[in-house]
Amino acid sequence: MNDTALMLLLGIFFITIFLKLPICFALGLASVSTMLYLGIPLANIINIMYASLDSYPFLAVPLFMLVGSLMNGGGITDRLMNVSSAWVGHIRGGLGHVNVVVSMLFAGLSGSSQSDVAGIGTMIIPAMKKAGFHAPFSVAITAASATLGAIIPPSIIMVIYASLAQISTGALFLAGFLPGILIGLSQMFYCYFLAVKFNYPRDQKMPMKKRLTTTMFALPPLLVPIIILFGVIGGVFTATESAAIAVCLSLLLSVVVYKSVRLRDLGAIFSDSAVTSCISLFMMAVAGCVAWLVGYLNLPELITNYILSITSSYYGVMTMLILVLSILGMLLNPSIIIIAFMPVILALGKVAGAHPLHLGIIVNLVLALAVITPPYGTSLLLAAQIGGVSPLRAFVSIIPMFLLAMLIIFLGVVFPELFLCIPRFFMPKAM
C-alpha cells in the first residue's frame, strides 16, 4: 500500500508540474490525492499547512527579502558597484570581476539569489554587453555570481535548513563564508581566462585616494552584514531578529542617510516584498504536507536502504546525495527541497557519518546552485530575460562556472575541515 501511495504522491506531483500547474498547487494536489488514498482525513492538510508556518525562524524569509528591496530601491546597490569597480575594475575582463565582487558584497545584505539578479543584473548586464562582452557570458556570470547570495551569509535557505535540522544558524552562516569566497574567486578566474581569450575590456586603474573615498561612501551598508553576523554569532540575537534589525538599518540608510527612498514609497516597497515572499512561503506551507507524507510513507528508510545496497562508503553516499539534490534542484525551489526531503537528507547524512554542520553546508551549497540549472533555474531565467538571451544559450555559458562550483563542493566533501574551520574557530560550542 505504501509503495502505491508513494507512486501516487510523486506521480501526481510530477505530472501536474509538467502540465504547467504552479508548483504549490501541484504539491497540494499530490498530497490531497495521497491522503485520500490512505484514508487520512483532509483536515490534516490544513493543520500541516498551519503548523509548517508556525515557526519563528521562517519570519526571516520576508525580512531578508525586504532588506534586498530597500537596498535595491535605495541606490545602495550603485554604491556597492562603485566600490567593486574601484578595486577590481582594472583587471582584465573588468566588468565581469565587478559583477562577481558586487554579488559577494550584496550577498551579505540580501540573503537570496533572485534579489541579487534583479538588483545587480538590470544594471550590469546591459553595461557588460555595451562594453563588448558576449551577451550569454554576461548573463551567465550574473546568474552564477548571484548564487553567492544564498551561500555568503546571511542566507534564507540556511535559516530554513538550520531551523529544521536543529543546528546552529550562526555556525551554518560561518560555514558558508569560505566556500562562498572560493566559488566567487573561481568565477573571477574563469572570467579572466575568457577575457584573455576574447580580449574583453577593462577599466582604468583608479588612484588609491579615489578608491578609498568610494569605499568610504559605501561603508554604512557594508557595516550591516557585519552587525548581523556578529549579533548572530555572539548570541546577541537570533537570525530572525538579525533580519528585523537589518530592515531597520536599511530603512535608516535609504530613507534618512541617502534619502533615496521617499516615505510615501515605503508602503509599496513593503507590500511588494510581502507579496513576493508569500510566493515561496505559501509553497513552503504546502510542501510541509509532502514532507509529512514522505515521513509517513517511510521514504527516508526506503531511499537509505536503496543507497546502502549500492554503496555504504562516505564518499559514495555523499556523491549520491549531491546527485539526487542536483536533480531535484532542476525542478524545485531549494526551500521546498529542504522542507519536503529533510528526513531523507538527515538519514543519508547519518548513514554517511557526516558531521551535521558539514552535511548542512554541503546541502546548502548544492541547493544554492539549483537556481542556475534548467528548467527551473529561476536566477538563470531571470538573468536571461534581462539580457535578452535564450535560457539554453545562457545555460551553455554557465556550465564551466557550475562545474567549478561543483569541484569546490567536492573538495569540501573530501576535506570537511575546509568548510568547518571557520565555525570551529568562532563557535566551537556549536560544533
Q: Which lies closer to another protein via its Cβ, residue 281 or residue 354?
A: 281
Q: Which of 219, 275, 403, 414 binds another protein (CB under 8 A)?
A: 275
Which among 378, 326, 364, 417 has a CA at the least distance from the CA of 156?
364
Distance between CA atoms of 119 and 298, rounded to whole angstroms? 42
Q: Which of 38, 40, 53, 185 binds another protein (CB under 8 A)?
A: 53
Minimum distance from residue 72 beta carbon to another protein (Å): 17
Q: Which is nearer to another protein, 353 or 375 (CB)?
A: 375
Residue 341: count of CB within 10 angstroms of its CB? 24
Is the omega angle on the peptide bond into residue 221 within 30 degrees of 0, that is, cis?
A: no
234-263 positions binding another protein, by CB under 8 A: 236-237, 240-241, 244-245, 247-248
- From residue 5, alpha-carbon distances to 32, 52, 73, 192, 284 in Å are 11, 22, 47, 52, 22
Q: Is 281 in the site for another protein (CB under 8 A)?
A: yes
Among 1, 39, 43, 204, binds another protein (CB under 8 A): 43
Of the candidates 366, 384, 386, which has an alpha carbon nearest to the alpha carbon of residue 375? Answer: 384
- Helices H, strands E: what count in the chain? 22, 0
User: Which residue stretch of 12-20, 74-82, 127-135, 138-146 sits at the interface with another protein (rule: CB under 8 A)?
Assistant: 12-20
Does position 22 interact with another protein (CB under 8 A)? The reply is yes
Residue 220: CB minimum distance to another protein, A: 19
Specify the DSSP class assigned to residue 204: P
Q: Is 158 in the site for another protein (CB under 8 A)?
A: no
Contact 67, 303 (CB under 8 A): no
Is residue 100 close enough to count as binding another protein by CB under 8 A? no
| Distance set, CA 129 to CA 96, 118, 250, 347, 387 (Å) | 11, 17, 31, 46, 8
DSSP letter assigned to residue 89? T
Region of 188-196, 204-212, 264-272, 394-402 interacting with another protein (CB under 8 A): 264-272
For another protein, which residue of 13, 62, 191, 430 counts as binding (CB under 8 A)? 62
Cell, residue 264: 510615501
Nearer to another protein, 113 or 187 (CB): 113
Q: Which residues bind another protein (CB under 8 A)?
A: 16-25, 28-29, 32, 42-43, 45-47, 49-50, 53-56, 58-59, 62-63, 66, 236-237, 240-241, 244-245, 247-248, 267-268, 270-271, 273-279, 281-283, 285, 331, 333, 375-376, 378
